[in-house]
Structure formats: structure tokens, C-alpha cells
Structure 1
Amino acid sequence: MTDYTLAQLSNYSVYSAMVVLTLAMLAHGLYLARIVPARESASTREEAPARELVAAGVGSEGSAASAEGAGGATADAVEAEPRSARKAAGIARMLTLLGTLLLVAGVVLRAAEVHRWPLGNMYEFAIVGAMFTLLAYVGWSTRRDLRWLGLFVVGPVLLVLGAATTVWYTDASELMPSLRSYWLAIHVTVATMTVAVFTLGAALGILYLVQDRLEASDAPPRSFMGRLPSARALERMTYGAHIIAFPMWTFTVIAGAIWARQAWGSYWNWDPKEVWSFVIWVVYAAYLHARATTGWKRQNAVWIALGGFVCVVLNFAVVNLFLVGMHSYSGL
């Protein structure tokens, strides 16, 4: 099979994944739209007993959280889901899984086409990062009910894939000499995996801030956010995602310094990419410190985490394109 054929198959796989994921996004939205009447009714009935259970403690904070169910809703609320909502959720899950498999195929075919690890330019970074984000979501979904989160994961992934195929796409090319190292597979792969987890954490953080504001207003659960878990549960999930991602980003920065020593003769060169990677590390370290510090509101801590994600986006979409340095590998 020629490289040209592999390139066509890779592109077809990515385009097919985008079509399937678009349908998955619609199905996720339909699930949220269909579940709201039953979820609101059930939450109204169970509000008092649920609060009594949490107040009792049940032994620990984690036990209280389990009373909310896998996705933050009560067991009765899940059982009260209308059949149309369950059907839409099932379709959304299958389409998301299919879209993920198609994207994986696109990445594998791209790797076969270029005869190397597919992380040599912006286009490849984008499709691999989108793939890891979907894999993280699908994998997490096997452990708990995250049907309510699908819309907020698939949507951003589609935006990234859209930019990758229209703005950042480049044909296969040889790697620059400094990139021809096994550190490409280690350093850049871990970096893209970390960005995937940061993306999930940012989505959860935004949902938490909105949910917390609505709960503080004591408004009846009739808004769109009434379909999602409680603010308390969303904040714990946000923290959990960042607890996983932060050590991975720490490894990314250290591995990058080791690779820089081999490629350029110095561990640190004050390159724009190196500086921004360190800025990201500092901001997320500040979030984790604020989260563990007595007297800090968790809402303020989450705002710091979202600031860290803004730095991640700038590092990828701005630094790679507009700041010239040793890491000018966008391919554009």
C-alpha cells in the first residue's frame, strides 16, 4: 500500500470520525433534553432524604458522594429516566465509541504514512490530542455514569478536529533533525495525553462554577443544569482530573529538559515553548495549592485551574504559530 493511499485512508477516517461524532453530539444533547422532566421530578422528591443522608455522614465524604449515584443523581432519578432518554444515551455512547475508533484508525494510518510517530506538526498534535481526549472519556465512562458529560467532551473535540482539517492540515514531511529521537514518542505523547485530561478537567470546572452559582441562588432545579450532578460532586471530579494530570505535566517538563540537553546542549534555553510549559506548571501547581489551603474558596481555586487551561490553549494555538523559537514545528 502506497503512502498516498495511506494518506487518503487516514483523511477519510478522520472525516468519518467527525461525521459520527457530530451525530454523537446531537444524541448526547437529545439525552439531556429528554431526561430533564424526570430528573427534575425525582430531585424534588428526593431533596430532603438526600440531605439527611449527607448530614448523617455515612462515615466519610466519599460515602456521601456515593449516595448521589455514579453520575451525581439519585438512584430513583436514574430509574425514572424515560425510555427515550435511555435510548438516546445508548445511541450517543455507541456513536462516541465508533467515532473514537475511527479517529484511532486515522492516527494509525497517518503514522503508517509518515513512517514515524505522528507528532511532527500541528495537524498531528491536534488529531492525537483529540484521540486521547476521547479515549480518556470513553475509558472513564466504563467506571461511572458520565452520559451527562458527553456533550461537553465531544463538542470541543469536534472544534479541534475542524481546525485540524481546515487550518492546521499539512502533508506528510520529514522530521527536523532535532526531532529524530525516541524522546518524541515519550515527551510529546505524555504531553498530549496530559492536555486531554486537562480538557476534561476544564469542562468539569466550568460546569461546577455554573452549578455552584445556581445552587447558591436557591433557584428551583428547572434549568439546563438541573440535569447534571451537584456542584459538590462536580468539584470533586474537577480536582480528581487535575490530580492525575499535574504529575503527567511535571514529567512532560522534565522530559523536555532532558531532550533539550541531548538536542541543543542545554537543559533550559528560555525558548517560548519551554517558558509557557513552565508557566502552565506553575498555574496548575497554584490551583492544587489553593485547593488544599484552608480559607481558600474552592470556586476561586477552580478559576485558577481554568486560567491554567487558557495557558494550555495559548501554548498550543498561539505559541506554536506566532512565536519563533527552537520549537517552531507547526508545519504551517
Structure 2
Amino acid sequence: MDIDPELARLSDLSFQTTFAIYVLAMLMFAGQYASSQVKKSQQRELIGAPVAGEGKPGIKLSPQQAKRSWFEKFGGMGYALVVIGAGFHLASIVLRGLSTDRFPLGNMYEFVSAMVLTAVVSGLIIVRKREHRPLWIFILVPVVLLVFLAGTVLYADAAPVVPALRSFWLPIHVTLAVLGSGLFLVAGVASVMFLFRVRRPEGEEGSGFLGGVADRLPSAQTLDRIAYRSTIIAFPVFGLGVILGAVWAEAAWGRFWGWDPKETMSFVTWVVYAAYLHARATAGWRDVKAAWINVVGFLAIVFNLFFINMVVSGLHSYAGLN
């Protein structure tokens, strides 16, 4: 199988551009987040009031308020940058596939890249409202970290996959795992911030740095709803990926289940998320306790992705995924 070095180079360049854009978007959202310190009483005072100097009487914005209003535009610019970054990110994955003439999910670098793109696109859909945008700074932190790790520690040159992965099951099974994992990333971030936000109910003024950070988050109910919506979509997708992985295992290794570390941890992760959904529908568990279970599920995803793939030896060790 021939490799097109020019397309591979363009894929790498697109990926590097993606990283730079995501970092810039994170800085934009950080600027918006840092500027959102206006108390709600001050916001109500400014909303709908005419501004002096427009030919009619009204309030005059102080230099501090004008600067704060300018900083609020960072959120819109950050969101636009995320959209652009997602475009470059998709281009890097497509170009990698074209350069190798195969489905671009054959190693850890490609898997993590596709998982992060899924998380970003999911975030653009689920966290699209203007009032929810403060959450983006916390989504982009793991996104930027994973893109950096993919481009450095996990990077692999464009090359054919090992013979064991030359199967029509690769794009089916691994794509489902990518989609589920990316959605779980958004859900995990939302649950972490829910646990942070629920300690500071809406309307209660924060004190100190941590209180100020909590006050700028969306409401606890909003964060909980984002986590639940992401998980309810990811759960069946990830579960179907586990089931079809067992079907592929039977075709490749002659058994549906062999307690391989990767498949076992994937099943455990799926069970944890099943427990979250059950807790979310159970009185007395649906708030803080359920959120903690969702966080445990996300930690299981991370553990499965890095520790099981890179440390534990098993039948999946040749590719670092599935």
C-alpha cells in the first residue's frame, strides 16, 4: 500500500493548525469568562437602557463597563474559532485517510484525534446557546491537552495498518467507540462543573476566587441537563460498539469474549454509565450522587484509553484501540 507523503504532510499541517486555533479559542473564552463579573443587579440595570450620546437621554457606560462589554465579544469570537478549528481538524483526519488509502482510525494518534473532534462537534451542538458559552473554557482544556498529547506522545507517521485491522469491522466498531467517547468527554466536563456549581446555588454571591469562578458558570440545572443529554446519546452508541467489538472478536479470534483487558474495561465503563442513567432516574440519587457516577465513568474512559492501551498487555495492544 503506497503512502502519499504530500497528503500526509498536509494532514499534519492541518492538525498543527487545529491545535493553534483551539488554543486561541480557549484564550478567547478565558477572556470572556474573566470579564463576566457583572452582578445580576447591574446587568438588569444596563439591559434595555439607552446609552448616552445617541441623541436621547440615558446612562453612560463607565470605562470599566465598556471594557467589560468589549470582553464579552470574546465569547462569540471563541465560538467562531472553535468552528474553524473543527473544520481544520476534520481536514486533518480526511487527509490522513487519503494519504494512507485506509480508514483513518488505525492507531492511538488517529483514535484520540477523532475522539476529540467528536467532543468538539458535540459541544458545538449541545453547548451552542450564548448563555452556556462559559462552559466552553472547561471543554477546551481537555481538548487542547488531548490534541497536544496526540500530536506529540501519541503521534504516528502515516502508514498502513497491521493485517489484523484490515477488516470492514474497523470503521464500524472503532467509529462507534470514537463517537461514544467524544460525547462522554462533554458529559464528564459538564458533570464536573455541575458538582462545582451546585455548591454555589444561583443567586448566592461567591466569595474568594473559587466562589467567583462558580458564579460565572451556567446554572447547576443547565449543567446537569447538558451532562444527561450527552450521556443518553453516547450510552447506546458506546454499548453498540462494545457488542460489535465482540462480534469482530469472534470473527478474528474465534470467541466473542475472552476477558481481554481492553474489552473488559470497556464493558465496565458501559456498566458505570448504565448506573449513572439509573441513578439519574432514581429519587435521592439524581443530582450530586448521579453526577459523581458520571465523573467515575469519564475517568474509566481515560483509564481505558491510556493505561489499558499503553501499559497493560493484551490482544488489543498492537493498535492501542478497539
TM-score, normalisation: structure 1: 0.83
Task: State the SS of the aligned residue for 2:200.
Answer: helix
Matched, 1:11 2:12: yes
State how far apart, in whole Å, the 2-side matches of 1:303 and 1:81 are.
38
Q: Which residue of 2 aligns with 1:108?
A: 94
Matched, 1:190 2:180: no
Matched, 1:317 2:306: yes
State how far apart, in whole Å, the 1-side matches of 2:44 and 2:197 are.
15
Structure 1: runs of 5 or more not aligned: 47-79
CA 1:218 to 1:91, structure 2 compared with 1: closer, same or farther past 3 Å? closer
Q: Which residue of 2 aligns with 1:126?
A: 112
1:51-200 equivalences under 5 Å are 83-142=69-128, 145-200=131-186
Q: CA deviation at 1:2?
A: 6.6
Q: Which residue of 2 aligns with 1:259?
A: 248
Amino acid in the other structure paired with 1:157: V
Matched, 1:285 2:271: no
State how far apart, in whole Å, the 2-side matches of 1:241 and 1:139 are.
10
Q: CA deviation at 1:44?
A: 10
Q: CA deviation at 1:261?
A: 1.2
State how far apart, in whole Å, the 2-side matches of 1:40 and 1:181 are.
61
Amino acid in the other structure paired with 1:209: L
State how far apart, in whole Å, the 2-side matches of 1:44 and 1:308 are.
43
Deviations 1:78-134 (A, max 9, x none): xx9953144211211111111111111111111111111111111111111111111
State how far apart, in whole Å, the 2-side matches of 1:19 and 1:183 are.
34
Q: Which residue of 2 aligns with 1:56?
A: none
CA 1:2 to 1:103, structure 2 compared with 1: closer, same or farther past 3 Å? same
Deviations 1:152-192 (A, max 9, x none): 12221110011111101111232222211111111101111
| CA root-mean-square deviation | 2.6
**1:238 alignment partner, one of 200, 221, 227:** 227
Q: Please tell me whether the aligned partners of residues 283 and 307 of structure 1 are also in contact (alpha carbons under 8 angstroms).
A: yes
CA 1:205 to 1:101, structure 2 compared with 1: closer, same or farther past 3 Å? same
Q: Which residue of 1 aligns with 2:291?
A: 302
Q: CA deviation at 1:216?
A: 9.2
State how far apart, in whole Å, the 1-side matches of 2:300 and 2:318 are.
19
Q: Which residue of 2 aligns with 1:37?
A: 38
State how far apart, in whole Å, the 1-side matches of 2:261 and 2:21 are.
37
Q: Please tell me whether the aligned partners of residues 126 and 226 of structure 2 are also in contact (alpha carbons under 8 angstroms).
A: no
TM-score, normalisation: structure 2: 0.86
Task: State the SS of the aligned residue for 2:155.
Answer: coil
Q: Give identity over the alignment, percent.
A: 39
State how far apart, in whole Å, the 1-side matches of 2:45 and 2:204 are.
13
Deviates more, 1:97-106 or 1:211-220: 211-220
CA 1:44 to 1:306, structure 2 compared with 1: closer, same or farther past 3 Å? farther
Amino acid in the other structure paired with 1:193: L
Q: Which residue of 1 aligns with 2:191?
A: 205
Amino acid in the other structure paired with 2:164: S
State how far apart, in whole Å, the 2-side matches of 1:300 and 1:236 are.
15
Q: Please tell me whether the aligned partners of residues 135 and 218 of structure 2 are also in contact (alpha carbons under 8 angstroms).
A: no
CA 1:145 to 1:248, structure 2 compared with 1: closer, same or farther past 3 Å? farther
Task: State the SS of the aligned residue for 2:283.
Answer: coil
Instruction: Give the helix-richer structure, 1 or 2.
Output: 1
